[in-house]
Amino acid sequence: MSDALLDKLRGLVGKPAGPPFRAWDAVNQAMIRHWCDAVGDTNPIYTDPVEAAASVHGQIVAPPTMLQAWTMKGLVPPPSDGDGAQAELMALLDGAGFTSVVATNCEQEYTRYLHIGDELTAESVIEDVSPEKHTGLGDGHFITTRTDFRDQNGDTVGTMRFRILKFKPPEKQEKKVPRPAPPRNQDNAFFWEGVDRGELLIQRCSACGRLRHPPRPMCPNCQSLDWDTVKSTGRGEVFSFIIPHYPQVPFLDYPYVVAVVALEEGTRLISNVIDIDPHAVEIGMPVEVRFTKVDDELTLPLFAPVKA
């Protein structure tokens, strides 16, 4: 990152992060009770007037950890009187590519307990901007904002330092999912062993001579269990095809063609048509087999247009 940008970021240190915000409501018993119920805090000085009066406080006090809760702006924050240095700082970092943000830590210091009826105002300043740091999330800058909480008399009742990391998200390096291998079993092992050798073998009934694909143990024509194979020329034509769009699977590049190929020998098989614009594929197009090595363990019989 350039020194000029860092100088601009550092130039905002000490400036108000935004206009002061006065709490919607004074410190009240109802919100204290909701807080204690939510976090399971049973300390009686927060909810029991009798116990609280007998304590060193002499009255109900609010849990110190509620400090920030009193000045939260809610789901529908009020119109802002001005953006302040926080918005300018974020815009500078966004423009430089530091577009992601994550909160890293929060530190609070309490000057006194809050009492029922206290009216708080929160005033925030940019306290620090770090030089560019290298983190596990990415390169970025740590931004520390200090918020001073004051009561209706202007006295400080607590301070909070809130730190975020504004960082550049690393470029996604998506590892392509390998194409799953078709299952091999005792019925089709001969076919895939032939493919591994660069041969396209078609199952043939020994009794009636009928070709069949996909391989199976019995002839659908004469029910014979005896068979052998013939070696196909690998030539044929596109009998029908589709171009799938959705849902997409991660191991294929889109668009692609799934085709029923009618082989010269008279049987058909399903495969992909490659080496052509998918939208240029036509029914009746002459194709020939291409034994394509997908990875170290998988070779597939795909089909490409016959070269003139």
pLDDT, tens digit, for every residue of 144-161? 999 999 999 999 999 999
Q: Has domain 3-167 been given CATH number 3.10.129.10?
A: yes
Give the pLDDT confidence of 189-207 residue by residue, as tens digits.
999 999 999 999 999 999 9
Residue 1 has pLDDT above 50, yes or no: no
Is pLDDT larger for residue 179 or for residue 114? 114
What SS3 class is residue 144? strand
In this prediction, residues 278-303 reach a mean pLDDT of 94
| Residue in 249, 259, 232, 86 with CA at minimum distance from that of residue 178 | 249
For residue 233, what are the contacts with CB-CB under 8 A and spacing of at least 6?
263, 264, 265
H/E stretch holding 166? strand 156-167
The pairing of beta strand 114-115 with beta strand 133-134: unpaired
Residue 78 has pLDDT above 80, yes or no: no
Residues of the chain with CATH 3.10.129.10: 3-167
| Residue in 259, 220, 222 with CA at minimum distance from that of residue 240 | 259
21: region left, alpha or beta (phi > 0 left; psi from -120 to 50 alpha): beta
Quickly tell me which residue has 């363990």 as its tokens.
297
Q: In Å, what is the CA distance from 291 to each residue of 134, 217, 287?
A: 47, 25, 13
Mean pLDDT value across the chain: 93
pTM of the model: 0.57
